[in-house]
Protein backbone atom coordinates (compact mmCIF):
# COMPACT_ATOMS: atom_id res chain seq x y z
CA UNK A 1 0.00 0.00 0.00
CA UNK A 2 1.40 3.39 -0.98
CA UNK A 3 1.93 6.37 1.29
CA UNK A 4 -0.81 8.23 -0.60
CA UNK A 5 -3.26 5.39 0.06
CA UNK A 6 -2.39 5.41 3.75
CA UNK A 7 -2.81 9.19 3.88
CA UNK A 8 -6.23 8.87 2.24
CA UNK A 9 -7.19 6.25 4.85
CA UNK A 10 -6.13 8.59 7.62
CA UNK A 11 -8.24 11.43 6.24
CA UNK A 12 -11.25 9.10 6.01
CA UNK A 13 -10.76 8.10 9.65
CA UNK A 14 -10.51 11.75 10.72
CA UNK A 15 -13.78 12.60 9.01
CA UNK A 16 -15.63 9.36 9.75
CA UNK A 17 -18.06 11.20 11.99
CA UNK A 18 -19.35 13.10 8.93
CA UNK A 19 -20.18 10.08 6.81
CA UNK A 20 -23.16 7.80 7.39
CA UNK A 21 -22.82 4.08 8.04
CA UNK A 22 -25.08 1.97 5.83
CA UNK A 23 -26.21 -0.51 8.45
CA UNK A 24 -29.01 -1.68 6.14
CA UNK A 25 -26.43 -2.98 3.65
CA UNK A 26 -24.55 -4.72 6.47
CA UNK A 27 -27.81 -6.30 7.66
CA UNK A 28 -28.42 -7.65 4.14
CA UNK A 29 -24.98 -9.30 4.04
CA UNK A 30 -24.42 -10.51 7.59
CA UNK A 31 -26.44 -13.24 9.28
CA UNK A 32 -28.29 -12.09 12.41
CA UNK A 33 -25.73 -13.71 14.73
CA UNK A 34 -22.88 -11.59 13.27
CA UNK A 35 -24.64 -8.23 12.85
CA UNK A 36 -24.09 -7.21 16.50
CA UNK A 37 -20.35 -7.68 15.99
CA UNK A 38 -20.47 -5.20 13.10
CA UNK A 39 -22.49 -2.71 15.16
CA UNK A 40 -19.92 -2.87 18.00
CA UNK A 41 -17.11 -1.77 15.70
CA UNK A 42 -15.93 1.84 15.67
CA UNK A 43 -17.57 4.03 13.07
CA UNK A 44 -14.41 4.30 10.94
CA UNK A 45 -13.96 0.50 10.90
CA UNK A 46 -17.62 -0.01 9.90
CA UNK A 47 -17.23 2.51 7.07
CA UNK A 48 -13.99 0.82 5.99
CA UNK A 49 -15.66 -2.60 5.98
CA UNK A 50 -18.52 -1.25 3.89
CA UNK A 51 -16.04 0.31 1.45
CA UNK A 52 -14.22 -3.02 1.12
CA UNK A 53 -17.56 -4.76 0.51
CA UNK A 54 -18.56 -2.26 -2.18
CA UNK A 55 -15.18 -2.66 -3.86
CA UNK A 56 -15.63 -6.44 -3.95
CA UNK A 57 -19.10 -5.98 -5.43
CA UNK A 58 -17.87 -3.52 -8.09
CA UNK A 59 -15.10 -5.93 -9.06
CA UNK A 60 -17.55 -8.79 -9.54
CA UNK A 61 -16.86 -10.85 -6.41
CA UNK A 62 -20.24 -12.18 -5.33
CA UNK A 63 -19.21 -14.78 -2.74
CA UNK A 64 -21.13 -14.33 0.53
CA UNK A 65 -18.13 -15.40 2.63
CA UNK A 66 -15.93 -12.70 1.06
CA UNK A 67 -18.65 -10.10 1.64
CA UNK A 68 -19.01 -11.07 5.30
CA UNK A 69 -15.23 -11.09 5.76
CA UNK A 70 -15.07 -7.62 4.17
CA UNK A 71 -17.42 -6.25 6.80
CA UNK A 72 -15.82 -7.95 9.80
CA UNK A 73 -12.11 -8.36 8.97
CA UNK A 74 -11.09 -5.53 11.32
CA UNK A 75 -13.55 -6.11 14.16
CA UNK A 76 -10.70 -7.30 16.40
CA UNK A 77 -9.28 -3.77 16.45
CA UNK A 78 -12.20 -2.82 18.68
CA UNK A 79 -10.74 -4.81 21.59
CA UNK A 80 -8.44 -1.95 22.53
CA UNK A 81 -8.32 1.78 21.90
CA UNK A 82 -6.40 2.41 18.68
CA UNK A 83 -6.39 6.14 17.93
CA UNK A 84 -5.36 7.57 14.59
CA UNK A 85 -1.96 8.81 15.78
CA UNK A 86 -1.05 5.28 16.92
CA UNK A 87 -2.18 3.82 13.60
CA UNK A 88 -0.01 6.36 11.80
CA UNK A 89 2.95 5.56 14.05
CA UNK A 90 2.64 1.84 13.35
CA UNK A 91 2.43 2.41 9.59
CA UNK A 92 5.46 4.71 9.57
CA UNK A 93 7.59 2.47 11.79
CA UNK A 94 6.57 -0.63 9.85
CA UNK A 95 7.64 1.07 6.64
CA UNK A 96 11.15 1.59 7.95
CA UNK A 97 11.60 -1.34 10.35
CA UNK A 98 9.22 -4.08 9.24
CA UNK A 99 10.94 -6.87 11.21
CA UNK A 100 11.23 -4.81 14.36
CA UNK A 101 7.56 -3.76 14.15
CA UNK A 102 6.61 -7.44 13.73
CA UNK A 103 8.66 -8.33 16.80
CA UNK A 104 7.00 -5.57 18.82
CA UNK A 105 3.63 -6.95 17.68
CA UNK A 106 4.10 -10.16 19.65
CA UNK A 107 2.91 -10.60 23.20
CA UNK A 108 0.30 -8.76 25.23
CA UNK A 109 -1.05 -5.36 24.14
CA UNK A 110 0.55 -3.30 26.89
CA UNK A 111 2.51 -0.08 27.05
CA UNK A 112 4.12 1.48 24.03
CA UNK A 113 3.94 -1.81 22.10
CA UNK A 114 0.12 -1.95 22.24
CA UNK A 115 -0.48 -0.38 18.78
CA UNK A 116 1.97 -2.81 17.18
CA UNK A 117 0.23 -5.74 18.88
CA UNK A 118 -3.19 -4.53 17.75
CA UNK A 119 -2.06 -4.20 14.15
CA UNK A 120 -0.40 -7.61 14.09
CA UNK A 121 -2.91 -9.62 16.11
CA UNK A 122 -6.24 -8.09 15.07
CA UNK A 123 -6.80 -10.62 12.25
CA UNK A 124 -6.73 -13.48 14.74
CA UNK A 125 -8.88 -11.58 17.25
CA UNK A 126 -11.38 -10.79 14.50
CA UNK A 127 -11.51 -14.42 13.40
CA UNK A 128 -11.99 -15.60 16.99
CA UNK A 129 -14.87 -13.17 17.52
CA UNK A 130 -16.63 -14.32 14.34
CA UNK A 131 -16.03 -17.97 15.19
CA UNK A 132 -17.36 -17.49 18.73
CA UNK A 133 -20.64 -16.20 17.30
CA UNK A 134 -21.00 -19.17 14.95
CA UNK A 135 -19.62 -17.60 11.79
CA UNK A 136 -19.03 -19.69 8.69
CA UNK A 137 -15.59 -21.39 8.85
CA UNK A 138 -14.68 -19.94 5.44
CA UNK A 139 -15.41 -16.42 6.71
CA UNK A 140 -13.32 -17.12 9.81
CA UNK A 141 -10.39 -18.34 7.72
CA UNK A 142 -10.57 -15.40 5.30
CA UNK A 143 -10.52 -12.98 8.22
CA UNK A 144 -7.71 -14.81 10.02
CA UNK A 145 -5.51 -14.72 6.91
CA UNK A 146 -6.50 -11.34 5.44
CA UNK A 147 -3.21 -9.69 6.43
CA UNK A 148 -0.96 -12.54 5.22
CA UNK A 149 0.54 -11.99 1.81
CA UNK A 150 0.07 -14.75 -0.72
CA UNK A 151 3.26 -16.29 -2.05
CA UNK A 152 2.60 -16.12 -5.76
CA UNK A 153 -0.61 -16.11 -7.74
CA UNK A 154 -3.77 -17.57 -6.18
CA UNK A 155 -3.87 -21.29 -6.94
CA UNK A 156 -7.24 -22.41 -5.50
CA UNK A 157 -10.72 -21.05 -4.72
CA UNK A 158 -9.79 -19.99 -1.19
CA UNK A 159 -6.72 -18.08 -2.35
CA UNK A 160 -8.75 -16.36 -5.07
CA UNK A 161 -11.25 -15.15 -2.47
CA UNK A 162 -8.44 -14.13 -0.12
CA UNK A 163 -6.68 -12.26 -2.92
CA UNK A 164 -9.91 -10.43 -3.83
CA UNK A 165 -10.43 -9.47 -0.18
CA UNK A 166 -6.84 -8.27 0.20
CA UNK A 167 -7.00 -6.23 -3.00
CA UNK A 168 -10.27 -4.60 -1.92
CA UNK A 169 -8.88 -3.94 1.57
CA UNK A 170 -5.73 -2.36 0.12
CA UNK A 171 -7.82 -0.18 -2.17
CA UNK A 172 -9.66 1.23 0.83
Q: Which fold has domain 3-170?
A: Hypothetical protein af1432 (1.10.3210)
Contact 145, 158 (CB under 8 A): no
Distance CA 59, CA 168 (A): 9
H or E element at residue 155: none
Digit-by-digit pLDDT tens for the chain (172 residues) are: 555 555 565 555 555 556 778 999 999 999 999 999 999 999 999 999 999 999 999 999 999 999 999 999 999 999 998 988 998 899 999 999 999 999 999 999 999 999 999 999 999 999 999 999 999 999 999 999 999 999 999 999 999 999 999 999 999 9
d(CA 121, CA 26): 24
**Domain residue spans of the chain:** 3-170
Amino acid sequence: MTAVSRLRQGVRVLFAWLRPVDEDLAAQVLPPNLLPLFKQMRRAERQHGLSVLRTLQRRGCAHPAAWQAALLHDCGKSRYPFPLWQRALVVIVSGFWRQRAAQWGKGAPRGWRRPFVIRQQHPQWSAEAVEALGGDPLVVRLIAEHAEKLKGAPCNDFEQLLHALQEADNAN
